[in-house]
Structure 1
Amino acid sequence: MKKKMVPYLLLVPQIVLIIIFLIGLITGITQSFGVIPAFGLREPTLKYYKEILMKPELFQSVSYSLKIAFLSAAIATAGGVILAGLCVSVRQTSGLMMRIIQMPIIVPHVVVAIFAVNICSQNGILARIGYALGLISDQQQFPLIIYDAHGFGIILAYVWKELPFIVYFVIALMANINGKLGEAARNLGAGKICTFVKVTLPLCKETIISGFLIIFVFALGAYELPFLLGATTPKALPILAYQQYIHPNLENRPYAMALNGVIICISMVSAVLYFVMLKKNVSYLAGKNHEEKKKINT
């Protein structure tokens, strides 16, 4: 009897975390509709969503956040897949090299922001090196990477932080494919690049898309890097939400939750798109297998 209870007891911490997450999510959604009894707000309303949707800075923030999230996720995913492929091709999927590649994963985002400021700002290491070498006559001539309106510094920091995550996410699957089907393809005359493009990548597609989606949703809702490395305007959505959250007037709290609701909606749309893509791919593979079985039977 005790042995049967062990799996359920091991699930208790996870269940507790899920319950806390759901309570926070439900509370946030409820408050976004203006229901906060402690502040005297008891009637559900769409007023806060209507007001934030009417503000022009919201669409600037949405566009800015989507651009940063998409470019960060796309560049990190592409770079991570290429780096993972190189590691697999030279059979360096463990040991010192992988530890060095994975090191940024354990670095907090706040520390990454400090690195970015100290290295890439106009008073940073790169600007000083350029000035010392005579490439620029003044440190202020160094390109504005940090605190720029296009978010280059934020994207650069996300790529440095999340690229190793993609490597860690896909390298085990790539190594397994390369060791079996990859060798078969090379024995049939395919080169390493052809094998990687025609065999490895298609079979890793779902995992790669999953990694992209995780980074995209995280970058969309993250607060630290846009706050520490972003320009004054435009502001990312999490920054707008936090400004409303800390507003001296507590009745502004629903505006913050409504902005968080916008972030949740965009994240849900991303998740649904991924689910649809995955379902189509599964249906396509099932259809191909059915056709092959028919050919064999005939």
Structure 2
Amino acid sequence: MPTPKLKNVSRFLFVAIVTVPVVSGMVYAALYSLGIIGILNTEISSKAWQTVFFGKPFWSAIGFSLYISVVSMAISLAVALLISIKWQKNLRDGLLGTAIYFPLCFPGTVMAFFSFQMLSKSGFVSRLGFNMGWIEDLRVFPSWIHDAYGIGIIFTSVLLITPFFIILFSNLFKTENIASFQHLAKTFGASNRQILWKVTLPILLKRASVTIYLFTIFIMGSYEVPLLLGRQDPQMISVAIIQKIQRFNLNDIPQGYAMSILYVLLILSVVILLFFRNKNFFKTSAV
């Protein structure tokens, strides 16, 4: 058994390893955004912060990222709930229960390339439509890649996270013993619709709420997929920040760091708000 002193040392090392790099990066970004350090910075200035806070690009990127995240999560949750409830037996005993893990092997870059091959004007779907006579020319195929609505980004995000939620809901269905609650509700005369909306969905969504919140934040901050499938305007927040920091125009770097700090503060504010609304927010969901 480890001694209390050893436990305290282990906790300190864990916190140090996790927090020191993050805090160091935030301090560096803050100093750079205020003109204290960095190339071309000669004096302390809040110009970068004023440009970011009162300008349109940052808030447009936040709004677009939130839109992509919410729509992707809504579609993924709907599909995952449908499959995990309707095909519960197949997920537990059949081949589907093993095959559902296969999409989790692919990183976001590979999924983005797959989406591009499927949804671009010269992709599989457009060629299939042309061969089936649905469209007369590949050029009239709608723009689902690099489009203003982020359809390609949403499609890829759904492909990436839906298998995980299918597995999560399937396991929750078993660990929360939902089948017994369904049977109990039926004995009291509840219809199948009432059982679904009053018993099954509330239990699954309540137990998975932490994961849903975290994945919403995760999609908002994704980088590879929107970089490959998105357009210059609108941009998701991570792409907008990186482009500001890595552009040849060195005057944009302080703005990029200011955007990153402001984004982190917004996310922390949301997490803290959720924590105070629900004291069990940080309890892990059973997977």
- Tell me, yes or no, whether TM beats 0.5: yes
Does 1:149 pair with 2:122?
A: no
The match for 2:197 is 197
Residue type matched to 2:247 in 1? H
The match for 1:27 is 27
The match for 2:73 is 73
Deviations 1:15-45 (A, max 9, x none): 4641354335533552464265354858665
Percent identity over paired residues: 23
Query: What is the aligned residue count?
Result: 280
Aligned 8 A contact 2:32 2:38 in 1: no
Aligned 8 A contact 1:177 1:200 in 2: no
The match for 2:260 is 260
The match for 2:51 is 51
CA apart distance, 1:150: 1.0
* Distance in 2 between residues matched to 1:69 and 1:264, nearest whole Å: 16
* Distance in 1 between residues matched to 2:94 and 2:4, nearest whole Å: 38
When the two structures are superposed, what TM-score results if normalisation uses the length of structure 2?
A: 0.83
CA apart distance, 1:138: 0.9
* Distance in 2 between residues matched to 1:258 and 1:26, nearest whole Å: 10
Residue type matched to 1:259 in 2? M
* Distance in 2 between residues matched to 1:131 and 1:220, nearest whole Å: 35
CA apart distance, 1:48: 1.5
Aligned with 1:143: secondary structure?
coil
Deviations 1:90-128 (A, max 9, x none): 363355312322322221111111001101111001111
The match for 2:37 is 37
More displaced stretch, 200-209 vs 134-143: 200-209
Aligned with 1:110: secondary structure?
helix
* Distance in 1 between residues matched to 2:13 and 2:164, nearest whole Å: 25
Residue type matched to 1:237 in 2? I
Aligned 8 A contact 1:122 1:143 in 2: yes
Aligned 8 A contact 1:73 1:213 in 2: no
Deviations 1:112-157 (A, max 9, x none): 1100110111100111111111111111121211111111111111
The match for 2:133 is 134
* Distance in 2 between residues matched to 1:31 and 1:121, nearest whole Å: 42
When the two structures are superposed, what TM-score results if normalisation uses the length of structure 1?
A: 0.80
- Change over 3 Å in CA distance of 1:14–1:108 after alignment to 2: farther
Give unmatched runs, 5+ long, in structure 2. 282-287
The match for 2:109 is 110
* Distance in 2 between residues matched to 1:12 and 1:63, nearest whole Å: 38
Residue type matched to 1:122 in 2? K
The match for 2:285 is none
Aligned 8 A contact 2:65 2:237 in 1: yes
Deviations 1:165-215 (A, max 9, x none): 222233222223323323322333334443232112222333333232122
Aligned 8 A contact 1:31 1:253 in 2: no
Residue type matched to 2:120 in 1? S
CA apart distance, 1:61: 2.2
